[in-house]
Amino acid sequence: MKTLNCAGKSLTFDRTLVMGVLNITPDSFYESSRYQSLDQVLSTAEQMVRDGVDILDVGGESTRPGADGTVSSEQELERVVPVVEALRTNFDQVVSVDTSSALVISEASKAGAGMINDVRALLRPGALEAAAATSLPVVLMHSLVEQPETGFVPQYDDVVSKVNEYLLQRVSACETAGITRDRLILDPGFGGGMFGKTPAHDLQLLKHLDRVLALNFPVLAGMSRKSFIGAVLNKPAEQRLSASLAVATLAARAGAQIIRVHDVAETVDAVRMVDAVRNA
Ligand code: PT1
């Protein structure tokens, strides 16, 4: 059974793991996941822990559709580091840091983070080297956020092939930089235009998640309340919980090892049932 060493805490993939989203941005796409004070973040984290969360994912830069991505590394650092320290002190769960910044990677690691989660797959200057120096596990996500025209949606011949090709290129870059394969988790990057896909692409990626899993790395799926659900149901983010549980269930059933969500209690129940059926 594969186990990851996350700064002294271990994560074992013997059941589906749930990652809880802790936004410390004032402008997250899902209003009730926006936090301001450290106290608010800690009380949300405490509830997630009671609800069975495995990983607490701290993000200080919003990648939501329409957010202005102009948060400086210093500003991000100011938001993220105190939260990482407080979570590490108060809880046993692995703390993951959702960042693309080399500076934030280094400082969050010093503050006790156990995992790096980068929607830009360590493409920003210095990020590969900073991550290599930490010895932490890294989530590499597919997106086109570093392309010159963000928001441009490509016509994929086969979106799954393109995503897999990109992820394997980033795996190679990591290996060259000294990040061994056993530290890597792959994520196809559900998220519509923000991550270079249409809702149809997101649906194809979920339908064919087995092909991403066939690359033989642990897979993380982050679909909670995202716009492709809205595109199918024509409902706002506030009314996408049931559908988020449906897609989390499908991803867990396909074998995704980590599900990234806002609604921990409900998702833990859903994936526990998937695991129970798998083990029956
Ligand atoms: C994700 C992810 C993430 N998503 C990982 N990290 C976000 N590893 C932040 C929408 O379409 O999937 N995997 N960090 C949040 N980004 C988005 C993108 C939120 C699109 C919402 C949408 O609504």
Domains of the chain, earliest start first: 3-279 (3.20.20.20)
The verdict on whether 226 is a catalytic residue reads: yes
pLDDT confidence band for 156 (50 / 70 / 90)? confident
Average pLDDT, the chain: 92
Please tell me the predicted confidence (pLDDT) of residue 68.
53
Distances (CA, A) of 223 to 66, 74, 106, 276: 18, 29, 27, 22
The verdict on whether 64 is a catalytic residue reads: no
Closest ligand 1 atom to 141 CA: 8
Distance CA 39, CA 195 (A): 31
Residue 57 has pLDDT above 70, yes or no: yes
Distance CA 112, CA 120 (A): 22
Residue 67 has pLDDT above 70, yes or no: no
Q: How far is the CA of 47 from the centre of ligand 1 (A)?
A: 22
Helix (H) or strand (E) holding 207: helix 199-207
Residue 38 has pLDDT above 90, yes or no: no
Q: What pTM was computed for the model?
A: 0.95
Query: For the residues 167-190, what does the mean pLDDT come to?
Result: 98
Using alpha carbons only, give the angle 121, 44, 254 rounded to the nearest 5 degrees.
50
Residue 175 has pLDDT above 70, yes or no: yes
- Three-state DSSP at 80 gives helix
Q: How many CB atoms neighbour CB 120 within 10 A?
A: 20
Please tell me the predicted confidence (pLDDT) of residue 95.
98
65 contacts 90 by C-beta, under 8 angstroms: no
- Three-state DSSP at 76 gives helix
**Each residue's pLDDT tens digit, 180-192:** 999 999 999 999 8
Q: Can you tell me which residue has the tokens 């995704």?
A: 256
Positive/negative CA dihedral, 157, 163, 168, 169: positive
Please tell me which residue in 124, 225, 226, 240 is annotated as part of the active site. 226
Residue 264 has pLDDT above 80, yes or no: yes
DSSP single-letter state for residue 233: H
Q: How far is the CA of 118 from the centre of ligand 1 (A)?
A: 11
Residue 27 has pLDDT above 70, yes or no: no
Closest ligand 1 atom to 192 CA: 11
Q: Can you tell me which residue has the tokens 């769960």?
A: 93
Hey, which residues does 141 pair with through a beta bridge?
A: 187
